[in-house]
Amino acid sequence: MKNLKIAIQKSGRLNEKSVQLLKNCGLDFENYKSSLITTVNNFNLEILFLRDDDIPGYVAQGIADLGIVGENVIDESQAQVTYLQRLGFGRCTLKIAIPKDSDVQDLADLNGKAIATSYPVILQQFLNEYKIQADIREISGSVEIAPGLGLSDAICDIVSTGGTLKSNGLKPFADVRSSEAILIGREGLLENPILCELLQRVQSVLRAKETKYVVLNVEKINLPQITELLHGVKSPTVVPLAEEGWVAVHTVITEDDFWDKINTLKAAGAQGIVVMPIEKIIL
Ligand code: PRT
Ligand code: ZN
């Protein structure tokens, strides 16, 4: 069968997690920083290492079959690609930010103002939506310094912690769109058996990331209460301990209500709680 090609970022914020995701899917490959392409030894896949901006276009043109890239970059490129899977990393928000002492108070105040950005397409769509006429100044990097240099009244840029804004005397003003890394594919690829296998593996890795394997000890008399609390998980495994009257309970807990559940389990008599990461969950 013909190999598929997946494009991932060569270096930058998405590189490490993209490589890690593919490795967690059981793919064996050398991550040579100097090469642009590598072949996976145990799967019908080649990996292309590209600048993130090039990935949507490569996938839309069919030069790569798949890609891992931020939604912000996909939208800005306007490339026609299929969203296959949200990946849960590279989370950030494209925001409009203004100098701390700016007179801009609501969106309408942006009328007639200059906004510096590397995302002119997305910003224009946002301004159109709110019927704002502003002057978009496209710059390719270090957007945060534009107001300080007198190049613009505001900026529109990616924010994650907000530290960069703060250190440049800016404050967030409006959210334009949120973004995370996405697995994209070229159109018409969905039936491909290599993709189906890869998607299944990616999803099992993501599912595992949201869950933890928990082992706890409990006195037998408290067991009904503990199993009741674990309602929602397929019946937990219960193993007798050497100490008379005690058992170990093995179960899986989801990340979102993790601490609540641990605390109620403790209150119900759970002791010696051990929490372990799960590598994969195959349904
Ligand atoms: O070289 P190449 O073109 O491939 O990479 P790049 O330099 O264009 O992109 P890169 O590696 O910086 O980011 C890749 C993707 O990561 C982006 O397209 C986003 O989808 C996502 N991402 C997540 C971020 C951030 N968080 C982020 N914080 N991209 C950029 N930033 C920058 C932002 O531009 C600003 O300069 O970080 C700064 C703000 O960070 P905070 O934490 O100070 O708010
Ligand atoms: Zn880039």
Read off the CATH number of the domain in which 234 is found. 3.30.70.120
Q: Are residues 146 and 198 in the same domain?
A: no
Domains: count for the chain: 3
Give, in order, the Cα–Cα distances in Å from 96 to each of 79, 103, 140, 167.
Answer: 24, 14, 16, 16
Instruction: Tell me the CA–centroid distance for residue 206 and ligand 2, in Å.
Output: 25
**Is 282 part of a structural domain of the chain?**
no
The ligand with the least distance to the CA atom of 179 is 1
Q: Can you give the pLDDT at residue 232?
A: 54
Cα(109)–Cα(210) distance, rounded to whole angstroms? 42
Instruction: Tell me the CA–centroid distance for residue 70 and ligand 1, in Å.
Output: 9
Q: Are residues 43 and 75 in the same domain?
A: yes
The ligand with the least distance to the CA atom of 141 is 1
Q: Can you give the pLDDT at residue 34?
A: 78
Angle, helices 193-209/15-24, rounded to nearest 10 degrees? 100
- Give the SS3 label for residue 10: coil
Instruction: Tell me the CA–centroid distance for residue 13 and ligand 2, in Å.
Output: 10
Q: Can you give the pLDDT at residue 257?
A: 76
Instruction: Tell me the CA–centroid distance for residue 13 and ligand 1, in Å.
Output: 6
Give, using CA atoms, the residue closest to atom 21 of ligand 1.
90
Atom number, ligand 1, closest to the C-alpha of residue 180: 20
Q: Can you give the pLDDT at residue 210?
A: 85
The ligand with the least distance to the CA atom of 70 is 1
Residues of the chain with pLDDT under 50: none
Q: Can you give the pLDDT at residue 234?
A: 67
Give, using CA atoms, the residue closest to atom 42 of ligand 1.
161
Instruction: Tell me the CA–centroid distance for residue 48 and ligand 1, in Å.
Output: 20
Enclosing domain of residue 43: 4-89+180-208
Instruction: Tell me the CA–centroid distance for residue 74 and ligand 1, in Å.
Output: 14
Run of H or E including 224: helix 223-229
Q: Can you give the pLDDT at residue 82?
A: 97
Pocket of ligand 1 (CB under 6 A): 9, 12-14, 51-53, 70, 72-73, 90, 92, 157-164, 179
Q: Can you give the pLDDT at residue 37?
A: 95
Ion ligand 2: protein residues whose beta carbon lies under 5 Å: 52-53
Give, in order, the Cα–Cα distances in Å from 59 to each of 4, 27, 183, 201, 245.
Answer: 11, 21, 11, 21, 60
**Is 99 part of a structural domain of the chain?**
yes
**Is 283 part of a structural domain of the chain?**
no
* 136, 158, 178 - which closes a domain: 178
Q: Can you give the pLDDT at residue 143?
A: 97
| Other residues' Cβ atoms within 10 Å of the Cβ of residue 4 | 20
Identify which of 231, 134, 141 has the alpha carbon closest to the alpha carbon of residue 173.
Answer: 134
Q: What is the CATH number of the domain that holds 54?
A: 3.40.190.10
Q: Are residues 168 and 191 in the same domain?
A: no
Q: Are 227 and 236 in contact (CB under 8 A)?
A: yes
Give, using CA atoms, the residue closest to atom 39 of ligand 1.
159
Q: Are residues 184 and 85 in the same domain?
A: yes
Atom number, ligand 1, closest to the C-alpha of residue 144: 36
Instruction: Tell me the CA–centroid distance for residue 43 and ligand 1, in Å.
Output: 30
